[in-house]
């Protein structure tokens, strides 16, 4: 008799631990509301089911272009920094081709990102 009672108590304890753990693992839904209106194609795309407008598609394409240009600059900089440790041919290529064009590429990126910033600032005034 005592053995059966002890088994029931153990089963009940195991079940209650399992229920408690299951309750801890279930995510609690949290809905955050934005307090500041942000005009962004990414946020608009996430919050709505409709397709992006032409202006939003161009803006997304432009930001993608800026991201690509950033990674090109990063790659050029890393290549320039390690070119001294590479073969003489690669070092010569870095000195003749990459180094003279690096400043122009960075300047182009800064000009494009500044134009985008001005566009977004002007868009906020409207």
For residue 34, which of 25, 45, 43 has the smallest C-alpha distance? 43
pLDDT of 51 reads 73
Q: Is the dihedral of CA 32, 38, 44, 45 positive or negative?
A: negative
Transcribe 52-66 into DSSP letters: PPHHHHHHHHHHHHH
Mean pLDDT of successive 10-residue stretches along the chain, which has 126 residues: 69 61 61 65 67 79 94 96 92 93 96 93 76
- pTM for this prediction: 0.58
């Amino acid at each position: 008799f005592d053995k059966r009672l002890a088994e029931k108590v153990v089963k009940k304890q195991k079940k209650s631990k399992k229920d408690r753990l299951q309750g801890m693992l279930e995510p609690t839904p949290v809905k955050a509301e934005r307090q500041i209106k942000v005009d962004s194609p990414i946020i608009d795309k996430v919050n709505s089911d409709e397709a992006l407008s032409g202006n939003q598609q161009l803006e997304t394409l432009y930001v993608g272009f800026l991201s690509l240009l950033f990674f090109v600059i990063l790659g050029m900089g890393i290549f320039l920094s390690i070119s001294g440790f590479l073969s003489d041919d690669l070092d010569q290529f870095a000195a003749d081709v990459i180094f003279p064009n690096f400043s122009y590429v960075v300047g182009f990126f800064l000009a494009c990102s500044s134009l985008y910033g001005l566009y977004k600032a002007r868009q906020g005034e409207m």
